[in-house]
Amino acid sequence: MNRQVLFICLHVLHSVVGQISYTIPEEMTKGSLVGNIAQDLGLEIKRLISGKAKIYTRKTDEYIELNRERGVLLVKERIDREALCTETTLCALHFQILLENPMEFYRVTVQITDVNDNAPTFEQREMQFKISEAAITGAKFELERAVDLDVGINGVHKYELKPTDNFALKVHNNPDGNKNVEMVLQKPLDREKQEQIYLVLTAVDGGEPQMSGTMLIVITVLDANDNAPVFTQSTYKATVTENSPKGTVVATVTATDADQGSNGKITYSIINTLENIRKMFEVNQEKGEIILMTNIDFEKSRNFQINLRATDDGGFTDSCKLIVDVQDVNDNNPEINIMSKSNVISEDAKVNTVVTMINIEDRDSGENGKVQCFINENVPFVLQTSTNNFYSLVTDSELDRERASEYNITVTCSDEGVPSLSSSVTLTLQISDVNDNAPVFERSSYEAYIVENNTPGLSVFTVKARDADWNQNARVSYILEDSSVNGVPVSSYVSVSADSGVIHAVRSFDYEQIKDFHFCVKAQDGGSPPLSSNVTVKILIQDQNDNPPQVLYPVQTGGSVVGEMVPRSADVGYLVSKVVAVDVDSGQNAWLSYKLQKATDRALFEVGLQNGEIRTIRQVTDKDAVNQKLTVIVEDNGQPSRSATVIVNVAVADSFSEVMSEFTDFKQDKEYNDNLTFYLVLALAVVSFLFITCLVVIISVKIYRWRQSRVLYHSNLPVIPYYPPRYSDTLGGTGTLQHVYNYEVCRTTDSRKSDCKFGRAGSQNVLIMDPSSTGTMQRIQSEKNILDEPDSPLEVGRTVLFTT
Ligand SMILES: *[C@@H]1O[C@H](CO)[C@@H](O)[C@H](O)[C@H]1NC(C)=O
Ligand SMILES: *[C@@H]1O[C@H](CO)[C@@H](O)[C@H](O)[C@H]1NC(C)=O
């Protein structure tokens, strides 16, 4: 304790006036010694006691007391300088010490010195600031001052601010002695790093010991758009399967922005991307989802690159890249391309002939694009694969157009995707014809009937051959094979129409001349070389009732008269004669019946209907005329029937002389007969003339035909019908046999039997006579038949064949 004792002796009054000063620090404890007043004033203790020394002060508060016994001043009460003097720098207590006997007083000043007993303090414990992070360095923020009740050196001495990262403290000494405390931004703030900053401002006084006060400064950093958005990746990858539906989210990109609020609000967009891709994808502005907008086709593009931008409200951006890989889906059928094909293949094509070349393409990839092809079964083709995706369709076995003229080959190709897709194509292949089939006649042989006396050129019937080949190879021509019938070329009998196979009769046939014949017809196709086959055609000629019966007996001649004699004694049933007739026709046409047409006496004779026997039917009487003339009609059974009449002269007499007496009757007839003879001779002359004329014509024609025959044969022209010279019966007389062609002479006793005989095949009783040589007589075998008959009832007259 620094105690300063100041002696100032002032003797202004008669009393001793002394002045004494002490200096004590404040806050001394009660009873502390302020000063030894007795000593300092030079007074004795006794005097103090006797003088009843006391302190006189006008103030009520008594801080100091006087101890008379000890002669010292003591601290009576704690002295607080700040309370006593506030800010006054010099703080002192003034009082007097009064003495009595003699009265004396002394002035005493006790100076109170400051003790550092107050810390600097701030009015508020905390100060709040809101500062934008965008605040520039150098920005100033005024702070509160600290207050220290102490004075002088014990007052606020300095300030400190901690930490000093962003702010520095600046203290201005104002002229009034006050200090302005500011903090200055030294380093920019970053809300994103530190949103709130806590600083402590400390005020320190200069006392000993030093005392301090603090204040908390809370700085809230306000956001500024100082951060750009940032994508989480610079490149994103995504896959999308093709044909994904619209609206599929392909990928999501994310960008972050460190800023707050609208400064950190990010909007996504597509930028710098090809127009076509831009149409395919859309980005959700807020969520960053990339959404598929159209159908996506792996076969068109396998990946896409989309550039994306993120923008915050402040306009800061970042960009990234999204690579979308498209995944293949088996959505393409294999394509079958026919590179080359033949629509037609010859049926004689060799095995392994290539018919079609096919190329396969599947636009899918991987397994989805692997293709296998096959063809339908049951076709003689096989699919061969040469190199990748190239197939050739080749023949597998021999072809036969006649079995199958067309094939539908279905080529089916499937890929190996799951599920597998396939496509198919049908090739129609025609098999072209090769002439490998000969024409085949419908029957192995033909038989046809033709009624005699046909008109030349009549179509008899048709042969038909079929050829399994096609078109020209199946165009059948019919050719009459050269042969001869009875020494005459068959072409003079029939002709065959080359196109239609119709067989025409070239001439009129006569059953009595020829009953049947056969020939060969060749069917030949139009192939090259042509193929052919033969058939035998047999023509049977049918009879017509074209010949009247021929009476063989009795012989009717112009000159001679044959007569039969009936004795007058003849009984009933006496066989007078027998009319013998033949008919060169056959069958019913040759079935003869006999009737009595006219008779001198109808009651005397009858004619056997079937056998032509003339018998008496009553006893002959003398009254009966000698000359009986019977007219017998012979009819055949044809339709219409033909007939011949014969006159039988019967003499009813017992002797020839009796007959002669009646000759005169014959004379009348003779005149008639002479006339007849004349006409016959005239007719003969005409016939002979005609015959010679015909002979000349025939020879001319023969020569002409001989010259033309080869030409005619090789040309396919229809055969010119050949009409031989007239060979029919020109004389036409009954009872004659000028034209006998082919017949059988039967027993007249039963003409029905002749039918049976006729039925026998290969009859020997055939007379063949050249129609052109009617004058020549041939031997008749049939004569023998009649004569050899042992039981023949015919005993009258012999059968004689006459000819002119
Ligand atoms: C082939 O197909 C065509 C058309 O579908 C059809 O007319 C024809 O009959 C078929 N041919 C065969 C041999 O199946
Ligand atoms: C046809 O017949 C003739 C003889 O008439 C014969 O030489 C020829 O070989 C036959 N042709 C056929 C294809 O049968």
Residues 381 and 451 in one domain: no
- Three-state DSSP state, 708: helix
Q: Decide the pairing of beta strands 255-256 and 477-480.
A: unpaired
CB atoms within 10 A of CB 524: 19
Q: How far is 362 from 421, CA to CA, in rounded Å?
A: 10
Domain boundary among 281, 307, 328: 328
- Cα of 441 vs centre of ligand 2, distance in Å, is 13
> Is 406 touching ligand 1 by the criterion CB < 6 Å?
yes
Residue 239, classed as helix, strand or coil, is strand
Inside any domain, residue 801 = no
Looking at the fold, whether 259 and 200 belong to one and the same domain comes out as: no
At 345, which helix (H) or strand (E)? strand 344-346
Q: What's 626's DSSP letter?
A: S
Note whether 149 and 253 are same-domain residues: no
Residues 182 and 83 in one domain: no
CA-closest candidate to residue 227, choices 318, 309, 319? 318
Pairing of strands 406-415, 390-395: unpaired
Q: What is the CATH number of the domain that holds 469?
A: 2.60.40.60
Residue-level pLDDT at 625 = 84
Residue 46: left (phi > 0), alpha (psi -120 to 50), or beta? alpha
pLDDT at site 440: 94
- 32 and 91 in a single domain? The answer is yes
Q: Which DSSP symbol is given to 32?
A: -
Type of residue at 600: T
Q: Which ligand is nearest to the CA of 408?
A: 1
Predicted confidence (pLDDT) per residue in 722-767, tens digit: 434 443 333 333 333 333 333 333 333 343 433 333 333 333 333 3
Report how far ligand 2's centroid is from the alpha carbon of 466 (Å). 17
State the pLDDT at residue 561.
58
In this predicted structure, what is the pLDDT of residue 711? 55
Tell me: do 92 and 156 sit in the same domain: no
Q: How far apart are CA 341 and CA 373, in angstroms?
A: 17
49: pLDDT confidence band, cut at 50, 70 and 90? confident
- pLDDT at position 717: 43
Ligand 2 neighbour 533 (Cβ under 6 A): yes
Beta strands in 416-556 (DSSP E): 422-432, 440-441, 445-451, 459-462, 465-466, 477-480, 484-485, 488-489, 494-496, 502-505, 516-524, 532-542, 550-553
Is 748 within the bounds of a domain?
Answer: yes
* pLDDT band, very low/low/confident/very high, at 474 (cuts 50, 70, 90): very high
Task: Judge whether 804 lies within some domain.
Answer: no
Domain boundary among 49, 79, 113: 113
Q: How many angstroms separate the alpha carbon of residue 532 from the centre of ligand 2?
A: 9
Answer yes or no: do 214 and 91 share one domain. Answer: no
Query: Has residue 450 got a pLDDT over 90?
Result: yes
What CA–CA distance (Å, rounded) separates 116 from 279? 83
Q: Global pTM? A: 0.48
Total length of the chain:
804
Using CA atoms, how far residue 656 sits from 553, 571, 652, 745, in Å, is: 21, 19, 10, 33
* Residue from 481, 534, 535 whose mutation best tests the ligand 2 pocket (most atoms within 8 A of CB): 534
pLDDT, tens digit, for every residue of 416-431? Answer: 988 899 999 999 999 9
pLDDT band at residue 525 using 50, 70 and 90 as cut-offs: very high
Phi then psi dihedrals of residue 679, to 5 deg: -65, -35
In a domain, 134, yes or no: yes
| pLDDT tier at 673, thresholds 50, 70, 90 | low
Q: Give the Å distances, CA to CA, from 686 to 528, 692, 697.
A: 59, 10, 17
- Tell me the pLDDT tens digit for each residue of 67-118: 888 888 888 888 888 887 776 667 888 888 888 888 888 888 888 888 888 8
Identify the residue whose tokens are 């079964």. Answer: 377
Asked if residues 475 and 501 have their Cβ atoms less than 8 Å apart, the reply is no
| Inter-residue contact 140 to 184 (CB < 8 Å) | yes
Residue 376 has pLDDT above 70, yes or no: yes
- Model confidence band, residue 621 (pLDDT cutoffs 50, 70, 90): confident
**How far is the C-alpha of 553 from the C-alpha of 735, rounded, in Å?**
9
- Residues 446-452: what's their mean pLDDT? 93
Q: Residue 1 falls within a domain, yes or no?
A: no
**H or E segment and range at residue 255:** strand 255-256
CA atoms within 13 Å, Cβ hemisphere of 714: 3
290 shares a domain with 141: no
The answer to whether residue 591 sits within a structural domain is yes
Q: Is 536 in the pocket of ligand 2 (CB under 6 A)?
A: no
Looking at residue 209, what is its pLDDT? 83
- Domain co-membership, 714 together with 631: yes
Mean pLDDT of all residues in 622-629: 84
Residue whose entry in the numeric block shows the structure tokens 């020209």: 472
Asked if 3 contacts 35 with a C-beta cutoff of 8 angstroms, the reply is yes
The DSSP secondary structure of 574-611, one letter per residue, reads -EEEE-EEE-SS-GGGG-EEEEEEEESSTTTEEE-TTT
- Both 653 and 732 in one domain: the answer is yes
Q: Do the beta carbons of residue 64 and residue 22 sit within 8 Å?
A: no
Does residue 4 belong to any structural domain of this protein?
no
**Token pair in block for residue 379:** 């076709």
Q: What is the mean pLDDT of the chain?
A: 81
Q: Is the CB of 403 under 6 A from ligand 1?
A: no
Is there a single domain that holds both residue 735 and residue 586?
Answer: yes
What are 302-312's pLDDT values in tens digits? Answer: 888 999 999 98
Q: Could you tell me if residue 729 is inside a domain? A: yes
Protein residue whose Cα sits closest to atom 1 of ligand 1: 408
**Nearest ligand to residue 440 Cα:** 2
CA nearest 544: which of 460, 450, 452, 458?
452
Q: Would you say residue 153 has pLDDT above 60?
A: yes
Facing residues of 73 across strands? 35, 66
C-alpha 398 – ligand 2 centre gap (Å): 30
785 to 384, 443, 515, 658, 747: CA distances (angstroms): 87, 42, 22, 36, 8
Residue 264 is encoded by which pair of tokens? 């950190």
The last residue of one of the domains, among 303, 328, 353, is 328
Which position has the higher pLDDT, 718 or 212? 212
Lowest mean pLDDT across 14-28, 182-196, 344-358, 781-795: 781-795
Domain span at 562: 550-788
Q: Pick the residue with more confidence: 354 or 654?
A: 354
Ligand 2 proximity of 67 Cβ (cutoff 6 Å):
no
Closest CA to 257 of 307, 309, 321, 310: 310
- Report how far residue 779's alpha carbon sits from residue 785's, in angstroms, rounded to the nearest whole number: 13
Between residues 654 and 395, which one has the greater pLDDT?
Answer: 395
**Closest C-alpha to 624, from 666, 668, 654:** 654
Count of structural domains within the chain? 6
Q: Do 674 and 568 have their domain in common?
A: yes
When pLDDT is cut at 50, 70 and 90, the band that residue 671 belongs to is low
Model confidence over 543-577: pLDDT tens digits? 999 899 998 888 876 655 557 888 888 888 899 88
CB 108 within 8 A of CB 96: yes
